[in-house]
Amino acid sequence: MPYGLLAALAAAAIPTLAALTASARPGPAGTIVFYLSVVVNEAPFLWLAWIGSATALTWMLGGLTPVGAASAAAVALGLAELVRRGAKARRVLERAMEPVRMPRRVPYGRIVFGPLLRRRSRVEHLADLAYGPADRHRLDLYRLPGATGGPVLVHFHGGSYSAGRKDSQSLPLLYRLAQAGWVCVSAEYRLRPAAGFADHLADAHRVVAWIRTHGLDWGADPDRIVLAGSSAGAHLAASAAFTADCSRLPDVEAVDLRVSGVIGFGGYYGTYYGQGPRTSPAGLAGPAAPPCLIVHGDRDTIVPVADARRFAEALRGVSQQPVVFAALPGGQHAFDLCDSVRFAAVLDAVEAFTAAVLPVRPGGQARPAPHAPPP
């Protein structure tokens, strides 16, 4: 087999094998598997194009051997299995969302040809708006120019509370909802070690207060806010939502910090670096917790899916609102990285979930709330 084709196949085969064999293995091994597999797991069509081009070029140059062709076919079959697993997410989410029906909006062109492309036509991206005095008190806002009265989605990035930035995660979600008339916010917050849990929580409350105070100026409906987050951002979103009546920020005491829903992608829901139950969403939740949509990959090697399932069970035990949990077949951590078959189904579930739980505007019609069978 020519060395060029061998190198091309190895570059695709190694991450594909990591994605196919991934299981819940937190720690250094799980982290290595995550970094190897996360992109190929959500964008397998890029790797299919890669090995297809390498194989075709080798054939045109007269160097394709039966072993080379068989090896390329084996890698392609592995990638096809990743596509199949991603497609299974829709049925899982449909069952979790019953009786609410999910729409079906799958951007096949973008998924196949440009899954890592970020921008969307028509959506206005306003960067680095200040919501507080600190350097990290910055947010990006996504909206349609001239939009008015749109509900608000706030997304908090992951990064173990120690890293991350506001323009790196769940961008397909922000653009999808912005195109539908939402005002979407991606916010940064102060990081460890300079900041602790109380600081992170205060920053999240500041973002909600900023929307309540200034949302109308940006075309938003400040009475309809949903908090979302990825990984540690899901921890922060849930914690902020569950403590809306407990803010100690003197400059926002008179502001209503309650939100209409919480969405978590691949979330960590345990205690904050072992500091006790009052630093975990489960320890902060009560009967007034808003509706929650918890989505996790069943092959997550950073945060085991069992942890997210236990959180959903605990939340159902105290909350009076719907708690929807879905474990995505074949899903790894950071499945919200780009446009994919899997994340397209998640976005449809988000659209259905938010339509069901957001307050009904005057003249609107109430929709049934989702309920889920025990996970």
Token digits for 28?
A: 């250094």
In sequence order, what are the residues at sequence separation of 6 or more whose Cβ sits closer than 8 angstroms to the Cβ of residue 351?
102, 103, 105, 176, 177, 180
Give 170: exposed, middle or buried? Use CB within 10 Å, 0-12, 13-18, 19+: buried
Judge whether 214 counts as a catalytic residue.
Answer: no
Q: Which of 155, 157, 235, 333 is catalytic?
A: 333
Judge whether 205 counts as a catalytic residue.
Answer: no
Give which of 174, 97, 175 is closest to 367, Cα–Cα. 97
Q: Which of 300, 336, 339, 348 is catalytic?
A: 300
3-state secondary structure the chain: CCHHHHHHHHHHHHHHHHHHHCCCCCCHHHHHHHHHHHHHHHCHHHHHHHHHHHHHHHHHCCCCCHHHHHHHHHHHHHHHHHHHHHHCHHHHHHHHHCCCCCCCCCCHHHHHHCCCCCCCCCCEEEEEEECCCCCCCEEEEEECCCCCCEEEEEEECCCCCCCCCCCCCCHHHHHHHHHCCCEEEEECCCCCCCCCHHHHHHHHHHHHHHHHHHHHHHCEEEEEEEEEEECHHHHHHHHHHHCCCCCCCHHHCCCCCCCCEEEEECCCCCCCCCCCHHHCHHHHCCCCCCCEEEEEECCCCCCCHHHHHHHHHHHHHHCCCCEEEEEECCCCCCCCCCCCHHHHHHHHHHHHHHHHHCCCCCCCCCCCCCCCCCC
Token digits for 83?
A: 């596509």
> Which residue's entry shows tokens 């899997």?
342
Q: Which of 231, 239, 247, 319 is catalytic?
A: 231
Size of the chain, expressed as the number of residues it contains: 375
Judge whether 300 counts as a catalytic residue.
Answer: yes
**Side chain identity, residue 140:** D
- Annotated catalytic sites, by residue? 231, 300, 333
